[in-house]
Structure 1
């Protein structure tokens, strides 16, 4: 059954990305939400090997992101709603995070965050859009924290999903505030849907813990 749902996600995601016209907006929004509803279904069907709290929080994050997909046409409202979705993901990832990840692994994320803040928020401050500039900085901070917490889980599906989410949001933001990117919608939505699928699938990840004797692995 899960394979059927995954196939449906691919089919409806492709239909939305490549075949649905911009107008009417209401129908476009509806078709955009169909793959997310299927991803939510996929997440609910996935048995958890992490924890029940992780599954519940991931599903809550997916639901909030689905709402954000519907209101993103009002950009600031969408930005705030996605911000809340990332907060849910942060709490989910934190609940299974492990401290054995070296802090230097955060350096690429920090450098990337500074670069994006200067590029995106700087473009808004330069034209007097201070509110949007600060909103962008806050969003960059929360999505990078989400990425860092994903790395700390050491769950491959979680990490891939978080990095794809960062890539998708980066393309969208650069296109909106800096320069036009060819085939933006395809880049943004393919990586976005993929990110949500990976995060949903991470519910079924197997967490490896160490016993007192670190040579003995307990699954």
Structure 2
């Protein structure tokens, strides 16, 4: 269904495009439910809530701030869930350095792009989003769960491509790159529900 949406569904009518965009997420959420262990804990419901909020963000991204807000709430659910499985490791802890460096570099570029395009109202929401998704990725890594870690890093990559393409400079094949990394990220986070 993801391939069908990315490569075959036309942009118009928009409602049909949005419906087909959401179908893979419905399936991923259902897959996530099937991964629930017999003994469920709060993390399973938190991650499922994150998946659901991100699906809403997906459908509402046409209205940028509304969609961004839904994604932000989704990342807060993810972060809260991952923090319940915090497992300290010095090596994993130090991953905060490259994550922070990447966030600072892309944040600087985005601010410059937003100012240049006269979109100063977006600066605060975008910076808040960068901080939260960076914390989410770090929290996922700190769980020691490879599915959660890979999924969160793919999410950062997907949103980085999207924001760079939207505010800094067009990227060739940005649409497929964004959605392939995004669906993969969500699938891996849903997959983590079995082992986290």
TM-score, reference length from structure 1: 0.85
Deviation at 1:52, TM superposition (A): 2.0
Q: Which of these residues, 92, 98, 107, is aligned with residue 87 of structure 2?
A: 98
Cα separation, 2, equivalents of 1:109 and 1:25:
35
Relative contact order: is structure 1 or structure 2 higher (C-alpha 8 Å, sep ≥ 6)? 2
Task: Tell me which residue corresponds to 1:188.
Answer: 178
- Identify the residue that residue 156 of structure 2 maps to in structure 1: 166
Q: Does the alignment pair 1:141 with 2:134?
A: no
Say which SS state the counterpart of residue 94 (structure 2) adopts: helix
Radius of gyration: which is bigger? 1
Q: Look up the match of 2:98.
A: 108
TM-score (norm 2): 0.95
Q: Number of matched residues? A: 195
Deviation at 1:124, TM superposition (A): 1.3
Q: What are structure 1's unaligned runs of at least 5 residues?
A: 1-11, 207-219
- Cα distance, 1:50–1:170 mapped onto 2, change above 3 Å: farther
1:21 partnered with 2:31: no
Cα shift at 1:139: 0.6
RMSD over aligned Cα, in angstroms?
1.4
Q: Does 1:77 align with 2:58?
A: no
Matched, 1:199 2:189: yes
Q: Which runs of 4+ in 1 moved over 3 A?
A: none
